[in-house]
Structure 1
Amino acid sequence: MAYRPLSCASGSSVPPLSRPQLAEARRVRAVELFEEGGSNPEIARAVGVCAESVRRWRRVWEEGGAPALRRRPATGRPPKLNDAQVETVRAALERGAQAHGFEADLWTLERVGAVVERVTGVSLSRASVWRLLTGRLGWSLQRPERRAVERDESEIARWITHEWPRIKRGR
């Protein structure tokens, strides 16, 4: 039997498959080859995996059929905030910290957590607030520069050009 290996068409406008999608495509192709009566080593070469994977897939296929080899959604606890709530939080945060009654327009995890609880009614831990900001909202950590409000750039430049050389010469 001749088998066609799994490959993507080059130059097509179809986006490349993600790793989970590619793995599922391999398993689907293996099922087609199971049904054609292919041997495990031949199928392993055709789909580009080891023979042990094909043996495992064949056992699963024999017990549950082709649907048993389909990709399943990720397990785990569902997020506390749904997509609509995340967008509500995004809009609230984009208004700035001062719009929510904070002195400075600076977001901290505690402040963001308070705003999230105020607009959605959901209380999040600091770690969950961090995941919300960096993961679902795509924000990154920004640290403000620590500069005195009284800082006078022209006076600093004058000191560097006139006073510092005089002090250095005195040594």
Structure 2
Amino acid sequence: MDAAERFEHGESNAVIASELRVARRSVERWRRAWREAGVEGLRSAGPASLPKLDPSQVAALERELDMGPRAHGWEDQRWTLVRVKAVIRRRFGVTYSIHGVWDLLRRAGWSCRQPARRAVERDEDAVRGWVRETWPSGQAPRRRSTRGSSSRTRPGCR
């Protein structure tokens, strides 16, 4: 709508594009729409396409995801975007891009690398034991600084 006021004042496309921080081609397209239909021609027509899944299908997808990856044929309990994409394709016959799957999940309240809900079968005692006993054994041992090592020879590191 700022562009419409500037068109009325006769400002050039280059000046409008610079001040509104948009491409000059966008301003040209806006000016053409403004000439043809006035300010009404600049109003948004809404999203370019309708969502591929309606709200009831998104709810059904969440129920499918709540069943876990094993229920859909995967060995482990990790949901990845590729796996969710496959479930959507199989269940609803709709193809999403990986980015589209991520947007869909984010809108539904899911987060990256962190489950939105805690696993029902989670055993807190087993997790604490694993963190205390198994995890440290997988870490590389700390290197000790020895005579002549870089940590001792750099100036200012005494």
| TM-score between both structures, scaled by the size of structure 2 | 0.46
| TM-score between both structures, scaled by the size of structure 1 | 0.43
Structure having the higher Rg? 1
Q: Which has the higher contact order (CA 8 A, sep 6+)?
A: 1
